[in-house]
Copies of this chain bind each other. A is one copy, B any other.
Amino acid sequence: MNPPQATSSRVTETAPDTPSPSDQAALWRQRFESELEQRLRETGDTPGDLLESMRYSALAGGKRMRPLLVYGAGQALGIDVDELHGIAAAIELIHAYSLIHDDLPAMDDDDIRRGRPTNHRVYGQSTAILAGDALQALAFEVLANDANLSQNPAAQVRVIGAVAHACGAAGMAGGQVLDLAAIDKTIDATALETMHRLKTGALIRVSATAPALYALAPADQASALSDYGACVGLAFQIHDDVLDVTASSQQTGKPSQGDAARNKPAFPSVLGLERSRERASELVEKATRSLSELPGDTRALAWLAGYAIRREG
């Protein structure tokens, strides 16, 4: 007889056929691209170059940080990450729409994004506005039509509500208002953090918490993922501001020193470069500590927290 060994789970975790977190992220990214591409075909009969414009921005690559957080959270909860493609796609569609609208002349007036002309520079402002609008609608259509989510419609509705709240007036859209209002102003670190908690933080946080809503996870696990997401979201943004000062435009795919050129408050100008880096590291440590509450494999989430402040673009 071979009784189960107390160390069996640790053995599994370090089994030689388990990909490293970095390889795992690459595999998830690859799978995500095809899942997203598929959902950008199923939009029905779409007039003119609207669908092309939507696909231009949504399928432009990028780090896919939010989808990776969705999958990482699923793995940390011990659920099959293949059930989460709908959530991952919907959140990334919302992220894509927000970038199109943020780049508009009436907003940040950016010409380059991910090393290519911004959406409105290619398709014109009216199509760009409508592509953003339609991407937001598609995100909710994807959530409503997802076969895995539909297994538990009550949980599905909670995911939809959480995503809607995260991208609305009290989340992403509100954060962009604060961002634009801060131009040419002096604001302190607290106000800057508040802005980022809304502008990018809310959608990053819901990337980590939506899988918990889907999986009907206990409150302490949902809360741990919420803390993790809030810390990683802010760390990610601080590092973005640091890269804006320190990285080349080739690395980031957008013009460097953009915050200074636009007279936008940013962490390096408010806290100083060194303190900004420290603050980002503290947040990543805090995020990592919250992972101990979770029942599944948390290596991907731990790696992603580090990646948020290690990446060079």
Binding site for B on A (CB under 8 A): 43-51, 54, 97-98, 101, 104, 106-107, 124-127, 129-130, 132-134, 136-138, 140-141, 143-145, 150, 153-154, 156-158, 160-161, 163-165, 167-171, 173-178, 180-181, 198
18 contacts between A and B (CB under 8 A): A43-B170, A45-B170, A46-B169, A46-B170, A101-B130, A107-B126, A107-B129, A127-B177, A129-B129, A133-B173, A134-B168, A137-B169, A137-B173, A138-B169, A144-B158, A150-B154, A150-B157, A157-B157
What are the residues of chain B within 8 A of A136 when measuring CB–CB?
133, 136-137
What are the residues of chain B within 8 A of A176 when measuring CB–CB?
126, 130
For the complex of A and B, the 6 pairs showing the least CB-CB separation, nearest first, are A44-B170, A144-B161, A137-B168, A106-B125, A153-B153, A141-B164
Main secondary structure, interface of A, reads helix
Q: Given A178-B47, A178-B48, is A169 in contact with B129 using a C-beta cutoff of 8 Å?
A: no
What are the residues of chain B within 8 A of A153 when measuring CB–CB?
153-154, 156-157
Copies held by the complex: 2
Q: Nearest chain B CB to A192's CB is how many angstroms away?
A: 13
